[in-house]
Amino acid sequence: MLDHDNLARCALRRSEAPVAKRTTSPFLQFIAINSVGKTFAARTGSSISVLDCVDLTIAENEFVSFVGRSGCGKTTLLNIIAGLEDATQGQITIAGRPVTGPGQGQGVVFQQHALFPWLTAVDNVAFGFRKSGLNKTDRRQKAMDLLTLVGLEAAASKYPREMSGGMQQRVSIARALALDPQILLMDEPFGALDELTRIELQHELLRIWEAQRKTVVFVTHSINEALMLSDRIVLLAPNPGRIKRVFDVDLPRPRSRTEPRFNALYEEIWDELST
C-alpha cells in the first residue's frame, strides 16, 4: 500500500536521521523496502506499532543480516519480505514487482527445522519439488543432488528423529533450495545449534551462497555470526522497530574472528546495540 502521508512522514524521518546509503540504481534495488510499517492488533483492542518507516534496498547476490534486540521486529520484517505477512504501510518490491505473497523467488529457512517427522531426509527435500511438475523419480534425484550439496547424501534415508539438529537444519536448507529461489530468507537458522555445528554450517552456507549466488537475508542474535557472513549488517532498534544503522562489512572472505578489523566492527556494533 502506498500511502502518500506515510511516504512523506518517512522521507522527513530519513532526512532528519539518515541511516543507510540509498541508491537509485535499479540494479542495486533487487529487494526494495519502501517506508514499511507494521501494526498488530493487541488483545486489548488497541494496536501496537512493530515496524515504522523501514527503508532499505538490497542488491542481487548480497548477503544482508538483521540484528537487534529481541522484539525489534526482525522476524516480522523477514516475514513481510517472504510474503507471509502484509505490511500495514509502505511496500516491498522484488525485482520491481510488489510482494503480494510467497512464491516470488523467496525460499525460507526457520530456526525450528519444521521437517515432516514421517518423511526421510530425501523425501523431506523432495517435498520442496511438489509444485515443480517433475515425476517422483526426478524429484527424488534432484532431492539427492541437494542433499549432496549440503553434505548429507549418506543420511538420505534417515528420519528427522534419527538426525542431529545440525543435520536437520541442513535438510531444511536443501528443501528451501529446491525451487531454486533467488532469495534465501533465514530466520535464526543456526540459533538452536551448538557453537561448533553453528560455525560448520556458517561455512557451508557461505559455500552455497558463493556457488549459487543467492541473495540472502539472515536474522541472527549473534554479532559474530553476522560479521562472519554478511556484506552488510542492518541494526534495528525497537519500539517501534526501525533501522538504526547499517554497517558495511568491508572484510575479505574467509574471515577470521582474530582480525583487528573484525573486532573493531564488533565493538562498534555492540556499542550501537547497547545504547
Q: How far lies 103's CA from each of 106, 125, 143, in Å?
A: 6, 17, 19
Which range of residues in 69-77, 126-134, 208-216, 225-233 is near ligand ATP by CB under 6 A? 69-77
Cβ 76 to ligand ATP, closest distance in Å? Answer: 3
Question: Is 71 near ligand ATP (CB under 6 A)?
Answer: yes
Q: By CB under 6 A, which span of 6-14, 64-72, 152-160, 223-231 interacts with ligand ATP?
A: 64-72
- Closer residue to ligand ATP in complex, CB, 26/71: 71
Smallest distance, Å, CB 44 to ligand ATP?
A: 11
Q: Which stretch binds ligand ATP (CB under 6 A): 4-12, 72-80, 159-167, 200-208?
A: 72-80
* Binding span for ligand ATP by CB under 6 A among 73-81, 163-171, 176-184, 210-218: 73-81
Quick one: cell of 94?
522484488
Contact between 76 and ligand ATP (CB under 6 A)?
A: yes
Distance CA 121, CA 115 (A): 9
Q: How far is the CB of 133 from ligand ATP (least distance, A)?
A: 34
Q: Are 189 and 173 in contact (CB under 8 A)?
A: yes
Compute CA 105 distance to the chain's CA centroid, rounded to the nearest angstrom: 13
Strands 232-237 and 63-68, bridge-based pairing: parallel
Let me know: does 242 contact 18? Beta carbons within 8 Å: no
Least distance (Å) between residue 69 CB and ligand ATP: 7
Going 96 to 100 to 105 to 107, the CA torsion angle's sign is positive
Min separation Cβ 169 and ligand ATP, Å? 17
φ, ψ dihedrals at 68, nearest 5°: 155, 165
The answer to the question of residue 220 lying near ligand ATP (CB under 6 A) is: no
Residue 191 CB, shortest distance to ligand ATP, in Å, is 9
Task: Candidates 24, 25, 70, 274: give the one binding ligand ATP (CB under 6 A).
Answer: 70
For ligand ATP, the closer of residues 61 and 224 by Cβ is 224
Q: Which of 178, 160, 165 is nearest to 111 (CA)?
A: 165
Element (H, E) at 195: helix 195-212
Dihedral sign, Cα of residue 266, residue 254, residue 125, residue 192: negative
Interacting residue ranges for ligand ATP, rule: CB under 6 A: 40, 50, 68, 70-76
